[in-house]
Amino acid sequence: MKSKFRHIALIGKHQPPVAGGMQLSSRQVLDKLAHFLHTEGCEVVVEKETCANAGMQGYAALDVAQIGRECDLAVVVGGDGTMLRAARDTADAGTPLLGVNLGGLGFLTAISAGHFAKELRAVWQGKFTIETRPLIEVGGSLGGQLVSRPALNDFVVSRGAGSRLIELEVTVDGEELTRYRCDGLIVSSPTGSTAYSLAAGGAIVSPRAEVFTLTPICPHTLSNRSVVVSLHSTIGIRALSGRIETLLSADGEVVAPMAAGESVVIRRSERSTRLLHSAGTSFFKTLRQKLNWSGAHV
């Protein structure tokens, strides 16, 4: 059976060319995917930077805006970091994303690189679901410059290279929550609960739950724990530390330093991304398998 997705884009890791291109495994998977999709009767294009980094020849190279306008599906080859970038870049277009996992845990990537042909043929047969995940956004004035950035997983306000704790004042809907003395604070979306927040001891949240999770990193006060608030809340964070470098990051990428007295506001974005999953997969099944919980099918 031929695919209902006729025009498909390939997106891979962004990194400087090394030894002639991307990591060998990534390049191999991209080549095999392109060949497979072509034999299945699909028109294949490659995202512009992916095409340049991988040295792929013979395929149209499109930017993200063009992919959003022209493609029915984007297949993302990499780990969750690659999926995060693709999700942010394509959010306005509504093009569904299907992740092929080359990374570690891979909570966002739906299928493994070794089984993509089988999984994609099942997708052609209609055995898939498409899930909408909300993005979150941060805004504020830092260093005299307006900052506005979306994220799918989380925003983190953390200390820089120094070893001293930073102090942060946090409000929820204008009401003071607390002042943290800590290495940092993670504000995660439902999707991001299994990322940095989980590593810092935060709760695992179903991606369907409409909540923010606020998780302090190594707080000085042991009673400080993760706090869960509505995804419709507005979260304010003000840096109070004067001589300690404080950094704002989005999905693991540094956005800007925060000076003492500067603040940012985090809220739900109006933008969202669409993730395609193979039939039979679920968030809880993924948890059992990735975290080796009881009931996992090995």
Residues marked active site are found at 80
The C-alpha angle with vertex 225 and arms to 224 and 226, in degrees rounded to 5, equals 135
| DSSP class per residue in 216-248 | EES-SSTT---EEEETTS-EEEEE--SSS-EEE
| β partners of residue 159 | 246
Rounded CA separation 135/153 (Å):
8
Rounded CA separation 54/50 (Å):
6
- DSSP class of 262: -
| DSSP class per residue in 115-158 | GHHHHHHHHHTT-EEEEEEEEEEEEEEETTEEEEEEESSEEEEE
Nearest to 182 by CA among 246, 232, 231, 122: 246
Q: Which helix (H) or strand (E) holds 283?
A: helix 283-290
Q: Nearest 5°: phi and psi at 48?
A: -55, -50
| DSSP class per residue in 12-49 | ------BTTBS-HHHHHHHHHHHHHHHHTT-EEEEEHH
Instruction: State the CB neighbour count (10 A cutoff) for residue 295.
Output: 9
